[in-house]
Structure 1
């Protein structure tokens, strides 16, 4: 299971370019929404708070997915190896999505838009951001943003076999996305240009596809 935690962290890092493309505008908006009179120290705590809120939401969703997978395995005898194969397939789809070779995950993202349209207006209640607790709540809402990268990683939580493991997997995934979004919050334009570089994006996509194939191989070995 420790390997799954590390893998989730790596998926977060490999998907950093997608994070920038998907959430970069929101990150910039949140940073600019900080009260102009806020000093540098408080700004750091605010930025950390809304990222913590985002990761907390990922962990909550991961816990729900982990519990669902556990109940499916225990109550109806659904094989964990099948859940692992699903996770492997979604990793491959994620790689194809990030590489922009096959965009099926766009359709998967549509599933989350029903919830998002109700949660998104709530964010206006916390702007302008003056305190970390406002940023924490705003980040918790942000975590529900429909995202193929998040949904693909959730299949790992589904296959983890427990509520706790599912939550920890998504926590480590969130940590993997943190460096890119934190640097963007502080205006590291050079990092952004690297992460959005076409060749870099394709290399990251290929690594995700390879990892998905390896996951499928391990899952098939569990079955036979």
Structure 2
């Protein structure tokens, strides 16, 4: 079932680009344009995203370890309950991306307090002038409160181990790369397309479908 979860996380990151445009557009714009009007080299955009995905992997490892500790503590139904919760959150995430509800924003508000502490450190790293600085800025960017990230973290919690949780968030992070790298290089061109209603609906309902399928797989195991 881990292969299915990895695929779900990868595609959620890819299709979640409709959310990334709105959530991370300002940060990507800050990375994409210099004071002299020039465009940063591609290697800097790679470094930003390397740092961001590194933070995601760290979060996934912590969440996976926490989920594993619940299992080791003899909470027999805990792993199944976490799996069901992860699939339900995936459905809610898809409906949010499609524009049908705002429930996932609860996760973003919960992370706001942490971002208030990280944001000053992030701002001190701007403007970015070197690759190490870009990686650090990207790692700070990974702490931005994001309902999409937090929703996938619930799946990492249900992954059963630190390694599996880290792998899940790595898959998700890799899924976000095409959109966020594309925004960095073609910010003005890609944003109007990603914000079209039909694009949002198609992407969101596809992500919700992963959650529904995950629940169906669980039900079929017990039939």
* TM-score, normalisation: structure 1: 0.92
Q: Give the Å deviation of 1:147.
A: 0.6
Aligned equivalents of 2:222 and 2:151: distance in 1? Answer: 22
Question: What aligned pairs does 1:23-102 form with structure 2 within 5 A after superposition?
Answer: 23-33=24-34, 36=36, 43-79=41-77, 80-102=79-101
Aligned equivalents of 1:177 and 1:223: distance in 2? Answer: 34
Distance 1:197 1:78, change over 3 A: farther
- List per-residue Cα deviations over 1:65-95 (Å, max 9, x = no partner): 1001111111132432211110110011101
Aligned equivalents of 2:67 and 2:218: distance in 1? Answer: 15
Partner of 2:10: 9
Gaps of 5+ in 1: none
Q: Give the Å deviation of 1:193.
A: 2.2
- List per-residue Cα deviations over 1:185-222 (Å, max 9, x = no partner): 11254432222111110111111122111111223344
Distance 1:19 1:37, change over 3 A: closer
Aligned equivalents of 2:56 and 2:222: distance in 1? Answer: 30
Aligned equivalents of 1:117 and 1:223: distance in 2? Answer: 45
Distance 1:63 1:223, change over 3 A: farther
RMSD: 1.8
Aligned equivalents of 2:89 and 2:107: distance in 1? Answer: 10
- List per-residue Cα deviations over 1:146-195 (Å, max 9, x = no partner): 11100111111111101011001101101111111111111254432222
Find runs of 4+ consecutive structure 1 residues off by over 4 angstroms. 35-38
Are the equivalent residues in 1 in contact too, given 2:99–2:200 (CA < 8 A)?
A: no
* Matched residues, number: 221
Aligned equivalents of 2:211 and 2:165: distance in 1? Answer: 18
Partner of 2:190: 191
Aligned equivalents of 1:104 and 1:2: distance in 2? Answer: 27
Are the equivalent residues in 1 in contact too, given 2:29–2:187 (CA < 8 A)?
A: no
